[in-house]
Structure 1
Amino acid sequence: ITGSRTRTLQVFDTELSADTVEWCPLPQWSHVLACGTYQLQKGDDKQTAEDTAPSRIGRLYLFDCNPRPSFIPPLTETQRIDTPAVLDLKWCHVPISERPLLGMATASGEIQLYKLMESQQGTCVLKCELSTELGPDRLALSLDWSTGRGESSDVRVVSSDSSGSLTALSLGEATLTTVCQWKAHDFEAWISAFSYWDTQIVYSGGDDCKLKGWDLRMGPSSPSFTSKRHTMGVCSIHSNPHREHILATGSYDENMLLWDGRNMKLPLSETAVGGGVWRLKWHPSQEHLLLAACMHNDFHILHCQKAMEGQDAPCPVLASYILHNSLAYGADWSRLPLSNSTPPSPQEPPRTSVELTESGGHLRIQYESPTASFDTSLEDESGQYIPEQCSLPEKSSIPDPFTSPARDSQSLSCLMASCSFYDHMMHVWRWDWSPEEKQKPSEPTPLPEHSRYDGL
């Protein structure tokens, strides 16, 4: 029996390079998944030098997920929208006019807001509601909503861009208005994020290797702090929505730092994850669990309890998802409760299979044509189907992770999505964890030096 295991449920080819995935956080729409892509179009050889500015195209995908095992594959594409290249996607954590709202940061320097609507066919579709330009000659690189703790008053967005600027925007009845914009970093400002506990506080990270804090009440003329603790560009920041003052940051220097916002001189802990830390996501309900997309070193789930309690130690890796073959850029937790019943055995033998190392069996990939996706099942050496719950405790001991906290004796089952860049792949997978199984976390493998500009 293993205490932690990951299992691929479906793989989808996004055709263009995939760099961001986001599950809708609102309970009624938690089955909705969005994925953004980014493709650099090379100029034609016949063009003159003036015309060779690269064009960046993108596509926004929308999916409906039904994780019940009797429905294979779980993901159905419901919409695709051609857009400028997408650098970041974030759903507002509260409904706006009773509907979910998705924010998108684009290579055309815009923040676009899409409302989720019901189509005539009964599926969900996105409709562009608002768009605001951050300024000329810049790429919008990130955005965050002020609503991380479910507060719906004074809804705001913060964005960072390739000119090194930050922009704070306010969402009105039918407007997205710039409140203030300021130069925050030399070079690209890769990431911006609210403190979800005090939304007048904004954090930012840039290619100048600096992590900065800003108090919007004081005006953005100077930062409230500047940290040079990261040694390369700072590209991910996430405020913990469950624990006040706790902040996670990641960098091209391959380290995740955990901070107490009241003392930004020294981090609470430092964890080497063996790849540039492009995205960090706290679990929707479990305050100690952190998901990291580590560019050159896959996806990892970190357990941050001891570090948050002040024990100066790295955060152990509970699980790693290693089945992507390219830069690990986008990752998110789903709030969908997982059914724990055993799925039926596939009716007919798959046409092709790929052996992958996974405890207790091989992953057999069943191609679903022509949807550009494939589903997987776990098989033993003789090709017999292995039931999904074979290595876990009885189903009665597995709570819905989003209604009961994980105490030491309980288990978690989580649905995840992740995407990788050059191979343009999005994976949906599940992670099952039994905390009582004490296991030694695997040490991340250090990787060779790499370019900071991979992918962009």
Structure 2
Amino acid sequence: MGWQSRTRTLQVFDTELSADTVEWCPLPQWSHVLACGTYQLQKGDDKTAEDSTALNRIGRLYLFHCNPQPSFIPPLTETLRIDTPAILDLKWCHVPISERPLLGMATASGEIQLYKLMEPQQGTCGLECELRAELGPDRLALSLDWSTGRGESDVRVVSSDSSGSLTVLSLGEASLTAVCQWKAHDFEAWISAFSYWDTQIVYSGGDDCKLKGWDLRMGPSSPTFTSKRHTMGVCSIHSNPHREHVLATGSYDENVLLWDGRNMKTPLNETAVGGGVWRLKWHPSQEHLLLAACMHNDFHILHCQKAMEGQDAPCPVLASYILHNSLAYGADWSRLPLSNTTPPSPQEPPQTSVGLTDSGGHLRIQYESPTASFDTSLEDDSGQYVPDHCLLPEKRSAPDPFPSPVRDTQSLSCLMASCSFYDHMMHVWRWDWSPEEEQMTSEPAPSS
């Protein structure tokens, strides 16, 4: 049986400053909340340009409310924007703190800042800076990760910075305190991450092309392993929260590697994705699905089941999202449930929807100046809308032997957010994966 894989844009938002990180809130009650962070290097005179401190790096934190149901389009509403130091990374804590969501932010001022999501006022949520901790002078905080990926009650944060150091911080009732800090890499430490299955284990990657592991019980005097399997800077690491020992790493060398944490000498799998892998995100509930933001080569969803089972073959790409026009930096899965019916286009009545990446049509963008957002639709060469029910087989069907991502169901629909840098754009889109319908297979599709 063939499977149909489709991506479709729901909304595009202009962040004005360069966008590099997006994060959906993982807590069920607040899963409609989306945060986006930006980074902008201000241009000044020559004296200012020579100064590499955080003073000339500005940012903005956006907060959005999302309602992806067909009855409300476009689905995204901006609820808050806060001017901040440039933001390098955003992560929500996976568990509520004092019954509220907590958003962590790594900034160019060398700080980790924690924002509490406030009670809704006039129907929208706000953010309040709760705590902050300095990592040290003359450095940029480049990444952060929470220890709470599997509901860990001992809440800690690990951060990496531009000096090559890692810092582990402990969250108390009214404090964010550095527990330990050490020099981990010779150049920028682009990424740091906890093992969600053993949160005394920390992983890091740096511009020295090294992937390292650290056991906090043994102290950070030396790594538990050092891998040079990546041939360029290591900039993305994510522990699989559903499958013990499985780790995904990405690098400027344009490869995604899967690892078994019990044997870090040789990866389980290597997949070339055609662009530097800035961020990797495992699906919130499907253990085999991995989202990759590939800088110069868009966004891709990888199916990793066979690799996890020990088969030495690249992970197949189930879907690609190619509508950004700049560096693909931030990407995340939403936990919001979606109906199986594809919502209509923002500019069309309900009976005609548009599939955007499924054809060679032209993306049509309409600007809404008050909100700096865009609605999108697809049109053909004559300017006519391309309806969703039109057969466009060249990119719709994922050829067998791709298995279903969901073992016990016949289809999957996911809401996504992604952002790109120099064009300062954030996109909200959906991915649908389902068995091919009979009417769509009545005519033979051209071979791929």
When normalised by structure 2's length, the TM-score is 0.88
Q: CA–CA distance in 1 between the matches of 2:53 and 2:171?
A: 36
Match of 2:30 in 1: 29
1:119, distance to aligned residue in structure 2 (A): 4.0
Farther-moved stretch of structure 1 (46-55 vs 34-43) = 46-55
Partners of 1:25 and 1:335 within 8 A in 2: yes
Distance 1:125 1:165, change over 3 A: same
Partners of 1:417 and 1:426 within 8 A in 2: yes
Offset from partner CA, 1:102-127 (integer Å, 9 cap, x none): 00000000000000012431211111
Farther-moved stretch of structure 1 (117-126 vs 155-164) = 117-126
Distance 1:293 1:438, change over 3 A: farther
1:436, distance to aligned residue in structure 2 (A): 7.0
Match of 1:53 in 2: 54
Partners of 2:352 and 2:387 within 8 A in 1: no
1:66, distance to aligned residue in structure 2 (A): 0.6
Match of 1:361 in 2: 361
1:45, distance to aligned residue in structure 2 (A): 4.3
Partners of 1:283 and 1:333 within 8 A in 2: yes
Offset from partner CA, 1:57-109 (integer Å, 9 cap, x none): 00000000010112111100000000000000000000000000000000000
1:50, distance to aligned residue in structure 2 (A): 6.8
Partners of 1:409 and 1:436 within 8 A in 2: no
Offset from partner CA, 1:28-61 (integer Å, 9 cap, x none): 0000000000000122247696799861000000
Offset from partner CA, 1:354-379 (integer Å, 9 cap, x none): 99763386544333333111122345
Distance 1:333 1:401, change over 3 A: farther
Point out where structure 2 has 5 or more consecutive residues left out of the alignment. Answer: none
Point out where structure 1 has 5 or more consecutive residues left out of the alignment. Answer: 446-456
Farther-moved stretch of structure 1 (412-421 vs 35-44) = 35-44
Offset from partner CA, 1:290-341 (integer Å, 9 cap, x none): 0000000100000000000000111111111110010000000000011334
Partners of 1:317 and 1:443 within 8 A in 2: no
Partners of 2:342 and 2:353 within 8 A in 1: no
Partners of 1:400 and 1:413 within 8 A in 2: no
Partners of 1:117 and 1:127 within 8 A in 2: yes
**What's the secondary structure of 2:35's corresponding residue?**
strand
Distance 1:260 1:373, change over 3 A: same
1:174, distance to aligned residue in structure 2 (A): 1.0
Distance 1:47 1:347, change over 3 A: closer
**What's the secondary structure of 2:118's corresponding residue?**
strand
Farther-moved stretch of structure 1 (8-17 vs 333-342) = 333-342
Q: CA–CA distance in 2 between the matches of 1:48 and 1:345?
A: 45
Farther-moved stretch of structure 1 (63-72 vs 108-117) = 63-72
Match of 2:99 in 1: 98
Partners of 1:353 and 1:366 within 8 A in 2: no
**What's the secondary structure of 2:396's corresponding residue?**
helix
Partners of 2:164 and 2:186 within 8 A in 1: yes
Distance 1:183 1:342, change over 3 A: closer
Q: CA–CA distance in 1 between the matches of 2:193 and 2:442?
A: 30
**What's the secondary structure of 1:349's corresponding residue?**
coil
When normalised by structure 1's length, the TM-score is 0.87
Q: CA–CA distance in 2 between the matches of 1:312 and 1:327?
A: 30
Farther-moved stretch of structure 1 (94-103 vs 69-78) = 69-78
Distance 1:173 1:435, change over 3 A: farther
Q: CA–CA distance in 1 between the matches of 2:411 and 2:224?
A: 41
Farther-moved stretch of structure 1 (96-105 vs 361-370) = 361-370
Offset from partner CA, 1:251-308 (integer Å, 9 cap, x none): 0011100000000000000001011000000000000000000000100000000000
**What's the secondary structure of 1:118's corresponding residue?**
coil
Distance 1:366 1:334, change over 3 A: same
**What's the secondary structure of 2:208's corresponding residue?**
coil
**What's the secondary structure of 2:290's corresponding residue?**
strand
Q: Which has the higher contact order (CA 8 A, sep 6+)?
A: 2
Partners of 1:27 and 1:335 within 8 A in 2: yes
Offset from partner CA, 1:386-421 (integer Å, 9 cap, x none): 665777999999999999981276111100000000
Partners of 2:53 and 2:138 within 8 A in 1: no
Q: CA RMSD in A?
A: 5.1
Distance 1:216 1:339, change over 3 A: same
Distance 1:397 1:38, change over 3 A: closer
Offset from partner CA, 1:3-48 (integer Å, 9 cap, x none): x111011000000000000000000000000000000012224769
Partners of 2:14 and 2:426 within 8 A in 1: yes
Partners of 2:355 and 2:388 within 8 A in 1: no
Distance 1:66 1:266, change over 3 A: same
Q: CA–CA distance in 1 between the matches of 2:51 and 2:397?
A: 65
**What's the secondary structure of 1:307's corresponding residue?**
helix
Q: CA–CA distance in 2 between the matches of 1:443 and 1:242?
A: 40
**What's the secondary structure of 1:51's corresponding residue?**
coil
Farther-moved stretch of structure 1 (433-442 vs 261-270) = 433-442
Partners of 1:114 and 1:127 within 8 A in 2: yes
Distance 1:349 1:271, change over 3 A: same
Match of 2:209 in 1: 209
Q: How does 1:10-409 map to 2 (within 5 A)?
A: 10-45=11-46, 55-151=56-152, 153-341=153-341, 343=343, 358-359=358-359, 363-378=363-378, 406-407=406-407
Q: CA–CA distance in 1 between the matches of 2:64 and 2:139?
A: 29
Partners of 1:419 and 1:426 within 8 A in 2: yes
